[in-house]
C-alpha cells in the first residue's frame, strides 16, 4: 500500500465555525439595548420608591429678602381679637391718643351740631338726630308753623379741654331765617359755646348751646389816597379784568395799591384791591 493511500487529510471548516459579520453586529445591538433597558428600569424603580420632592424651595430667588420670624405673643393675639370686636374707649385710651387729634374731632362735632341745631327745615330726621346727641331732659327747638332757617356757615374759633375727652368749643354761626310765606333774611351773627364729650358710644353733646359774644370787629387805619399815574391805572385794569373801573388808590411802600370796582355776571359791583409794582412817581 502506498503512502498516498494511507494519509487522509480532512479540512476543518473554520469559516463555518466563525460567526458571520452581520450576526455579530446584531448581537452587539441586542446587548446594548438590554443594558439601556436595565438602566431605565432601575431609574423608574428608584423614582417610584422615593417620596415626591416638593419644588417650593426652587421657586425662591437667591436675591429675595430673608423671611422675618414674628413670634406669636400675647399682644399680637390680643390685637387680632380686638380688631373683630367693638372698640370700647376708656380714659386710659383717651390719654394715649394725642390731644390734638381729639381736639380736631371735637371741633368738627361742635360745628356740625351748631349747623343742625339752628336749621329749621321741617324734616323730622333732623329733630331725631338732635335728640340722639343731646340729653333726654333738655328741650328741642319748637318754631311757629311755616318758620324756616338755613345756616350759611358755622366755624369754631376756639376749643378748650375741660376734662379728659371733654371740650368747650366756641362756634360762630351765620344763618338766614324766614317766617311763613316770607323770603329769607340774614340773621345777626351768633356765637355759642358747646360742650362735647367722648363716650364709649361716640361723641355726645353735654348740654344746649350757651350764647357768648361774637368776636369784636374794628376798623383799620385809612389807606393813603392820591392821583394814580396812567401806567399804574392801565396795569391795574389789565389785572382786574374786563369791565373793571379804577375808583381810587395810592402808593404804599414799594408798590401801588389800586382800588378797582368789578362787576359780576348778575350785575353785582364789588370793589377789590389790585397791587401794582412799578417805579412811576406819585401824582
200 and 265 in one domain?
no
| Residues spanned by the domain of 155 | 91-212
Specify the range with the lowest mean pLDDT, choosing from 62-71, 113-122, 239-248, 268-277.
Answer: 62-71
Rounded to 10 degrees, the C-alpha dihedral 273/279/281/283 comes to -20
Q: Does some domain include residue 160?
A: yes
Q: Does some domain include residue 25?
A: no
Q: Does some domain include residue 72?
A: no
What is the band of 118 on the pLDDT scale with cuts at 50, 70, 90? Answer: very high
184 and 272 in one domain?
no
Nearest to 187 by CA among 162, 223, 213, 150: 150
163 and 243 in one domain?
no
Residue holding cell 368738627? Answer: 108
d(Cα 116, Cα 205) in Å, to the nearest integer? Answer: 13
243 and 151 in one domain?
no
Q: Does some domain include residue 267?
A: yes
196 and 95 in one domain?
yes
* The pLDDT value given to residue 181: 86
- Of residues 87 and 203, more confidence is placed in 203
| pTM given for the model | 0.58
What is the band of 75 on the pLDDT scale with cuts at 50, 70, 90? Answer: very low
Q: Does some domain include residue 202?
A: yes
Nearest to 247 by CA among 238, 257, 266: 257
Q: Does some domain include residue 224?
A: no
Q: Does some domain include residue 108?
A: yes
Domain tally, the chain: 2
- Of residues 89 and 184, more confidence is placed in 184
204 and 137 in one domain?
yes
184 and 118 in one domain?
yes
Residue holding cell 476543518? Answer: 12
* The pLDDT value given to residue 28: 64
Specify the range with the lowest mean pLDDT, choosing from 28-37, 113-122, 173-182.
Answer: 28-37
User: pLDDT per residue over 28-66, tens digit each?
Assistant: 666 666 676 666 666 656 555 544 444 444 444 444 444
Amino acid at each position: 500500500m502506498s503512502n498516498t493511500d494511507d494519509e487522509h487529510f480532512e479540512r476543518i471548516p473554520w469559516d463555518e465555525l466563525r460567526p458571520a459579520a452581520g450576526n455579530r453586529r446584531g448581537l452587539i445591538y441586542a446587548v446594548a439595548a438590554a443594558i439601556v433597558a436595565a438602566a431605565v428600569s432601575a431609574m423608574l424603580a428608584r423614582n417610584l420608591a422615593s417620596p415626591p420632592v416638593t419644588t417650593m424651595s426652587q421657586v425662591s430667588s437667591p436675591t429675595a429678602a430673608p423671611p422675618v420670624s414674628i413670634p406669636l405673643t400675647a399682644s399680637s393675639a390680643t390685637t387680632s381679637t380686638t380688631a373683630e370686636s367693638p372698640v370700647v374707649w376708656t380714659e386710659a385710651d383717651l390719654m394715649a391718643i394725642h390731644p390734638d387729634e381729639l381736639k380736631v374731632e371735637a371741633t368738627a362735632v361742635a360745628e356740625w351740631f351748631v349747623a343742625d341745631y339752628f336749621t329749621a327745615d321741617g324734616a323730622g330726621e333732623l329733630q331725631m338726630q338732635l335728640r340722639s346727641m343731646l340729653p333726654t331732659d333738655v328741650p328741642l327747638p319748637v318754631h311757629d308753623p311755616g318758620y324756616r332757617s338755613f345756616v350759611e356757615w358755622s366755624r369754631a374759633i376756639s376749643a378748650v379741654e375741660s376734662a379728659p375727652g371733654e371740650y368747650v368749643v366756641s362756634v360762630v354761626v351765620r344763618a338766614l331765617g324766614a317766617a311763613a310765606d316770607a323770603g329769607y333774611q340774614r340773621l345777626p351773627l351768633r356765637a355759642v359755646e358747646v360742650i362735647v364729650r367722648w363716650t364709649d358710644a361716640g361723641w355726645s353733646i353735654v348740654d344746649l348751646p350757651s350764647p357768648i359774644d361774637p368776636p369784636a370787629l374794628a376798623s383799620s387805619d385809612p389807606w393813603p389816597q392820591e392821583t394814580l399815574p396812567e401806567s399804574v391805572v392801565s396795569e391795574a385794569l389789565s389785572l382786574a379784568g374786563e369791565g373793571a373801573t379804577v375808583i381810587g388808590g395810592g402808593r404804599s411802600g414799594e408798590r401801588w395799591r389800586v382800588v378797582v370796582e368789578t362787576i359780576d355776571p348778575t350785575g353785582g359791583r364789588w370793589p377789590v384791591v389790585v397791587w401794582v409794582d412799578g417805579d412811576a412817581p406819585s401824582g
